């Protein structure tokens, strides 16, 4: 029996014990954003560290600091073989609204093929799938085929402050040949997905101030500028109504030109326009002219207004000229756009549009860089092959439309290819009541990781 076959056999034979172990972890309510669960955060980190020590990782520590503890574990006995850094998180979202759960959120419950609990999919189940794969190798071969460094943080749901700092400070210690981020999902039970990048984000708050106080529109209408009227014109000028192109000068200057092969790759994603319509409930789809829906959701930048505040919008009517009006908006950015440069371009453009009858303030609420990985990199393709051997289909590839700030930090500090993927499913109810993970996906995830570490070893031999 080959070493890989032994590891896979071990996984098949220990499924129920691995499920029980996951249930133990899931029963610890490690809610990072609520200080009431501080002790449970510590307990969850300690539980993971003990488990990792027990399965034979050579060094495991709990890193404490300002925020929630982080679990770091490594096995570095494969001289000359590649090193894989694996990332996941043990903190979870609050369980509210509790009344909508069919089973208690921290009493893991198996029903059919699914395991229900807060954190089952995001991200404890996925973390334990990885750990089971490492365990299978360590217990059957006494070693891993490659070197592994594992980071399981406790602040993913609350901005990862400690991790950003740790990665920047410990870049030498974390040096690796690839980073596997396991906190995502497949498109379906048999269709894995790898994100070879994510969009960045530039979030702005725009405030227009006019008169010193709210005024009567009968007395002062036509005399002073209304900040709401001005803000509306400014916001309307940001995007062309026909083409949906963003009108900020030089906005597209650094947008990478995507070649035909890559566009074809993205357009292969098995998600139809009908599916988008179904997902959104919108009467029709819309977006930038000249690009498909799949391209608009991945390789093209966007601009969205999230809210407009000020003045009067209660029931009935009130004829007020508001003293100020505020809008929150953000732009999803693609390589090689820089969020700070984009913020400045937008600020200059808005300033140019503002008449002297008002004052304008533009505040940058957040700025996150986009991430791009070469999808042809052998470490990325090996992950796709490991998926194919496990689930019957190679991974689909796209760039994630959302933003993953920690991915940008990993890329900047470690300069290694990232494989952003996961074993969840679109209907796992992340951050919602009745979160679950599908057990076949969970077991498949372990097999995929067991195969992947083997393939990385073979590729370097
Ligand atoms: Zn997550």
Please state the rounded mean pLDDT for residues 433-454. Answer: 98
- pTM of the full structure: 0.93
Residues 326 and 340 in one domain: yes
Q: Find the 235 Cα to ligand 1 centroid distance in Å.
A: 33
Please state the rounded mean pLDDT for residues 69-79. Answer: 97
Token pair in block for residue 307: 């809210």
pLDDT at residue 262 in the model: 96
Token pair in block for residue 368: 């996150």
Q: E-strand spans in 126-238? A: 147-153, 178-182, 193-198, 200-209, 215-216
pLDDT at residue 15 in the model: 98
Give the CATH number, domain containing residue 135: 3.40.630.10
pLDDT at 35 over 80: yes
39 Cβ partners below 8 Å, 6+ apart?
Answer: none
Q: Find the 314 Cα to ligand 1 centroid distance in Å.
A: 37
* Average model confidence (pLDDT) across the chain: 96
Q: Find the 143 Cα to ligand 1 centroid distance in Å.
A: 29
Q: Find the 298 Cα to ligand 1 centroid distance in Å.
A: 20
- Give residue for tokens 């009908």: 274
Q: Find the 126 Cα to ligand 1 centroid distance in Å.
A: 9
Residues 362 and 385 in one domain: no
Q: Find the 396 Cα to ligand 1 centroid distance in Å.
A: 20
pLDDT at 1 over 90: no
Task: Work out the pLDDT band at 138, boundaries 50, 70, 90.
Answer: very high
pLDDT at 194 over 90: yes
Residues 238 and 330 in one domain: yes
Q: Find the 196 Cα to ligand 1 centroid distance in Å.
A: 17
pLDDT at residue 443 in the model: 98
Residue 325 pairs in a beta bridge with 208
Please write the tens of the pLDDT for every residue from 354-377.
Answer: 999 999 999 999 999 999 999 999
Which of residues 346, 368, 390 is at a domain's end?
Answer: 368
Q: Find the 128 Cα to ligand 1 centroid distance in Å.
A: 13
> CA-to-CA distance for 204 and 346, rounded, in angstroms?
9
pLDDT at 430 over 80: yes
pLDDT at residue 65 in the model: 86
Neighbour count for residue 16 (Cβ, 10 Å):
8
pLDDT at 208 over 80: yes
In terms of Cα–Cα distance, which of 198, 194, 123, 125 is closest to 382? 194
Residues 132 and 244 in one domain: no
Residues 246 and 184 in one domain: no
Q: Find the 147 Cα to ligand 1 centroid distance in Å.
A: 24
Pairing mode of beta strands 193-198, 371-372: antiparallel
Q: Find the 127 Cα to ligand 1 centroid distance in Å.
A: 10
Q: Find the 183 Cα to ligand 1 centroid distance in Å.
A: 5
Residue 92 pairs in a beta bridge with 31
pLDDT at 137 over 90: yes
Residues 140 and 15 in one domain: yes
pLDDT at 433 over 90: yes
Please write the tens of the pLDDT for every residue from 273-297.
Answer: 999 999 899 999 999 999 999 999 9
pLDDT at 460 over 90: no
Q: Find the 123 Cα to ligand 1 centroid distance in Å.
A: 5
Please state the rounded mean pLDDT for residues 100-106. Answer: 97
pLDDT at 73 over 90: yes
CA 304 to chain CA centroid, Å, is: 19
pLDDT at residue 122 in the model: 96
Q: Find the 35 Cα to ligand 1 centroid distance in Å.
A: 19
pLDDT at residue 326 in the model: 98
Q: Find the 334 Cα to ligand 1 centroid distance in Å.
A: 22
3-class SS of residue 239: strand
Give the CATH number, domain containing residue 340: 3.30.70.360
Q: Find the 30 Cα to ligand 1 centroid distance in Å.
A: 13
Please write the tens of the pLDDT for every residue from 347-359.
Answer: 999 999 999 999 9
Please state the rounded mean pLDDT for residues 130-141. Answer: 98
Positive or negative, the CA dihedral 119, 69, 450, 7 is negative
Which of residues 368, 386, 420 is at a domain's end?
Answer: 368
In terms of Cα–Cα distance, which of 133, 38, 109, 60 is closest to 442? 133
pLDDT at 461 over 90: no
pLDDT at 334 over 80: yes
Q: Find the 242 Cα to ligand 1 centroid distance in Å.
A: 37
Q: Find the 122 Cα to ligand 1 centroid distance in Å.
A: 4
3-class SS of residue 461: coil
pLDDT at residue 417 in the model: 97
Which of residues 335, 368, 401 is at a domain's end?
Answer: 368
Residues 406 and 383 in one domain: yes
CA 268 to chain CA centroid, Å, is: 22
Q: Kindly list the protein residues that place their beta carbon closer than 5 angstroms to ligand 1, a single-atom ion.
A: 122-123, 183
């Amino acid at each position: 029996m080959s070493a890989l076959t032994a590891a896979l056999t071990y996984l098949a034979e220990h499924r129920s014990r691995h499920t029980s172990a996951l249930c133990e972890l899931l029963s610890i309510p490690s809610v990072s954003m609520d200080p009431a669960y501080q002790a449970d955060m510590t307990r969850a980190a300690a539980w993971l560290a003990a488990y990792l020590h027990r399965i034979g990782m050579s060094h495991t520590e709990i890193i404490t600091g300002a925020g929630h503890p982080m679990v770091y574990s490594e096995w570095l006995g494969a001289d000359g073989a590649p090193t894989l850094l694996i990332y996941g998180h043990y903190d979870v979202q609050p369980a509210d609204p509790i009344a909508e759960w069919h089973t208690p959120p921290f009493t893991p419950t198996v029903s059919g093929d699914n395991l229900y609990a807060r954190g089952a999919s995001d991200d404890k189940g996925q973390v334990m799938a990885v750990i089971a794969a490492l365990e299978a190798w360590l217990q059957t071969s006494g070693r891993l085929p490659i070197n592994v460094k594992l980071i399981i943080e406790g602040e993913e749901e609350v901005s990862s402050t400690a991790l950003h700092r740790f990665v920047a400070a410990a870049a030498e210690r974390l040096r690796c040949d690839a980073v596997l981020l396991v906190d995502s999902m497949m498109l379906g039970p048999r269709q894995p997905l790898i994100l070879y990048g994510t969009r960045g984000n530039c979030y702005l708050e725009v405030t227009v101030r006019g008169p010193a106080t709210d005024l009567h529109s009968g007395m002062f209408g036509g005399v002073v500028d209304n900040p709401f009227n001005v803000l509306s014109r400014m916001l309307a000028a940001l995007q062309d109504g026909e083409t949906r192109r963003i009108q900020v000068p030089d906005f597209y200057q650094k947008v990478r030109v995507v070649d035909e092969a890559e566009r074809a790759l993205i357009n292969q994603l098995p998600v139809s326009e009908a599916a988008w319509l179904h997902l959104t409930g919108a009467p029709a789809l819309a977006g930038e002219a000249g690009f498909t829906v799949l391209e608009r959701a991945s390789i093209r930048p966007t601009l969205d207004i999230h809210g407009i505040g000020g003045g009067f919008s209660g029931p009935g009517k009130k004829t007020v000229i508001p003293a100020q009006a505020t809008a929150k908006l953000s732009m999803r950015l693609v390589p090689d756009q820089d969020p700070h440069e984009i913020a400045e371009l937008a600020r200059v453009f808005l300033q140019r549009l503002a008449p002297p009858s008002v004052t304008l303030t533009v505040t940058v609420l957040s700025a996150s860089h986009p991430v791009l990985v070469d999808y042809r990199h052998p470490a990325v393709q090996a992950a796709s092959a490991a998926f194919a051997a496990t689930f019957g289909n190679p991974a689909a590839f796209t760039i994630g439309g959302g933003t993953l700030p920690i991915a940008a930090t990993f890329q900047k500090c470690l300069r290694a290819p990232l494989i952003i993927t996961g074993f969840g499913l679109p209907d796992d109810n992340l951050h919602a009541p009745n979160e679950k993970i599908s057990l076949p996906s969970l077991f498949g995830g372990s097999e995929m990781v067991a195969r992947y570490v083997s393939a990385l070893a073979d590729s370097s031999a």
